[in-house]
Structure 1
Amino acid sequence: MVTLEVKPTFERLKSDKKQQFIEAAFEEFALHSFQEASLNRLVKKLGIAKGSVYQYFDDKQALYFYLKEYVIAKKRTFMQSAMNIPPDDFWDWLEALFHHGLAFDAQYPVMNRFLYRYSQEKLIPEVAKDMVRYDQEAVDFFSSIIAQQQEKGILKKNLDATIMARLIVQISKTLLETLAPVEDQPNPLGPVIQVSEAEYTQALRQLINILQSGMKKIDN
């Protein structure tokens, strides 16, 4: 896990100035890869001296990882209500969970676009390690839910819960790869997924139906 290096100077900023800085930084990194993102552009937009950034963070990478932790915390809080609801119907619950993620994209498009770009930074070792860790957390979460459903007799007990969980995590990635190309979108700071909700639902249900056909217990 990356250790954040936020300087006390940044924490002492007035809330409105801190928020303005955070929003501008998210926009810069949402529009550009880590290598292409520019602190010069950032300070020009904010109308501050470049030295101010180094009073807040050691370097561009420290700012980058601060933003990552910021949006991860925001998304976890946003998703918590959907994750905590006991899945009385596993498949309806799973679809609703994915739609909750779509709602986060619509409500916080710039932050979610940053997060999507972050996940694509394969050449940064810290990012690669992070993505492995986040994937494992997701697999552990879904494995637990699947095991509960197997005990209730809703899902087949002879299936490996971890393998099924990995397939669900892969569905999330497949949806993004299919529906969310970052380049050449009409609104580069809009939601990552810019298809209609109906199109999203159709694609999601197709993938869930594939899972359901193999996992759902068939009543005799």
Structure 2
Amino acid sequence: MDTQLVQPKQTFMNLAPEKRESIVRAAAAEFAAQGYQRASLNNIVKQLGISKGSLYQYFDNKEALFLHVFDHFTLQVKQYVKASATGNGREDFFDVARQVLLAGIAFIDSHPEYFQVYLKVLFERDVPRREELVSRVRLFSLEYFGPLADRAREQGVLRSDIPSQKVVFILDAMLDRFLQGYAQPHLDGGLALAGMSADRLHDEIDSMVAVLRTGLQPSDMGE
């Protein structure tokens, strides 16, 4: 899961970190706004104030640049998600889900262009290696939440008749749709998530997690 989709040229890796970040962010902004096929390397180099030849010294082509942007997106997401955990190994499964959802919102607020790139991958079929890109995101959810679900089932916190993989599927579906709605108002099903105050947004998150808890916990947990 940690392997890169594409390896940038060594000339790119030799750049100062802030220079690499500026290139990736400029590319992400263009891909987020235009999608893969319509994105223009000319626009990217104009934004950066460099020549197209310089960009080709760093990446072989547009596809390589796009895949590196997606690599950067997945790395940032993993960092945000892992930073949201308390790390004591005794977290309530549903509290973890809440913290991950809050981390996702923080990520979108800090890196809106990267999440828009992810949405382009989800909804545009002309993206290179699209199925692989989507699978990598889903695999991370399984790798992260799978062991937590296994432990919660062993502790009797989750229903024993629902396999861990199905629990992760349900949880991932809710998290992904909620974040999509937060990032794109036309995807929020009328919830108006993007315009909510922080307090109301937290209430919505608590409501979503409560629904998960009601459906996934054993019936005797509340007795």
Global fold match (TM > 0.5)? yes
Letter in 2 for 1:121: E
Supply the distance in 2 between the matched residues of 1:69 and 1:182 (Cα, whole angstroms): 26
Match in the other structure for 1:198: 199
Runs of at least 5 residues in structure 1 that lack an aligned partner in the other structure? 184-191
Residue 21 of structure 2: aligned partner: 19
Going from structure 1 to structure 2, the CA distance change for 1:106 and 1:178 (only over 3 Å counts) comes to closer
How far apart are the structure 2 equivalents of 1:56 and 1:13? 9
1:29 corresponding residue in structure 2: 31
Check conservation: 1:2, 1:126, Cα contact below 8 A: no
Q: Which residue of 1 aligns with 2:72?
A: 70
Are 2:181 and 1:207 equivalent residues in the alignment? no
Secondary structure at the aligned position of 1:78 is classed as: helix
Is the contact between residue 8 and residue 58 of structure 2 (CA under 8 Å) also seen in structure 1?
yes
Q: Secondary structure at the match of 1:154?
A: coil
Q: Distance in 1 between matches of 2:111 and 2:84?
A: 17
Distance 1:194 1:41 in 2: 31
Secondary structure of 1:6's partner? coil
- Matching residue within 41, 44, 48 for 2:43: 41
Alignment-derived partner of residue 99 in structure 1: 102
Stretches (4+) displaced over 6 A: none
Return the TM-score normalized by structure 1: 0.82
| 1:39 Cα deviation from its structure 2 partner | 0.7
Unmatched tracts of structure 2, length 5 or more: 187-192
Question: How do 1:48-63 and structure 2 match up within 5 A?
Answer: 48-63=50-65
Distance 1:117 1:89, change over 3 A: same
**Once the 2 structures are TM-superposed, how far is the Cα of residue 35 of structure 1 from its aligned partner?**
1.1
Following superposition, the deviation at residue 195 of structure 1 comes to 4.0
Residues 40/194 of structure 1: CA separation in 2 closer, same or farther (3 Å cut) = farther
How far residue 65 of structure 1 moved from its aligned partner, in angstroms, is 0.5
Find out whether 1:8 has 2:10 as its counterpart.
Answer: yes
Number of the residue aligned with 2:114: 111
Q: How many residues align?
A: 212
63-72 or 202-211, which deviates more: 202-211
Q: 2:125 aligns with which of 122, 125, 131?
A: 122
Q: What's the offset of the Cα at 1:108? A: 2.6
Question: Does the 8 Å CA contact 1:30/1:117 hold for their aligned counterparts?
Answer: yes
Q: SS where residue 157 of structure 2 aligns?
A: coil
Q: Is the 8 A contact 1:122 1:128 kept in 2?
A: no
Provide the alpha-carbon RMSD of the alignment. Answer: 2.6
Contact kept? 2:74, 2:137, Cα under 8 Å: no
AA aligned to 1:207 is M
Q: Deviations over 1:161-196 (max 9, x none)?
A: 22111100100122134333278xxxxxxxx95643
